[in-house]
């Protein structure tokens, strides 16, 4: 069981924007599932922000946090838009638009603390 300092892992399917390559999304999800690590998967952070989903606040308050989604500035902006900004330290956003699935999975699952 992870301790309280272990980062929570959040995976965004980016289901509606269709901006993340399907192969990368699928490979990252498969690697997370195969690892046995505990993580939360959401359909689309953009949609959640548009609907002011209260889970965004819970995620932002649950640092340390690692998020696999798209551009970090966009993800941070979504949380800010919902009055639940991610902390400057303790929240990392990995970009499935520009990083490889291996790189993202390795970073999501590493043991080191969130910087």
Chunked mean pLDDT (size 10), the chain, 115 residues? 73 88 95 96 95 94 93 96 92 96 96 70
Q: 74 with 104: CB under 8 angstroms? A: no
For residue 67, list its beta bridge partners. 10, 93
Q: Which helix (H) or strand (E) holds 105?
A: helix 101-109
Give residue-wise pLDDT tens across range 46-79: 999 999 999 999 999 988 999 999 999 999 999 9
The tokens for 6 are 């272990």
Assign 3-class secondary structure to 12-53.
Answer: ECCCCCCCCCHHHHHHHHHHHHHHCCCCEEECCHHHHHHCCC
pTM over 0.75: yes
């Amino acid at each position: 069981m992870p301790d309280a300092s272990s980062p929570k892992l959040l995976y965004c399917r980016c289901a509606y924007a269709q901006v993340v390559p399907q192969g990368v999304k699928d490979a990252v999800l498969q690697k997370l599932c195969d690892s046995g690590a505990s993580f939360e998967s959401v359909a689309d952070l953009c949609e959640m922000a548009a609907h002011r989903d209260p889970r965004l606040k819970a995620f932002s308050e649950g640092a340390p946090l690692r998020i696999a989604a798209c551009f970090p500035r966009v993800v941070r902006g979504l949380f800010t838009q919902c009055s639940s900004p991610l902390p400057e330290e303790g929240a990392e956003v990995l970009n499935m638009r520009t990083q490889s699935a291996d790189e993202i999975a390795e970073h999501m699952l590493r043991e080191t603390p969130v910087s």
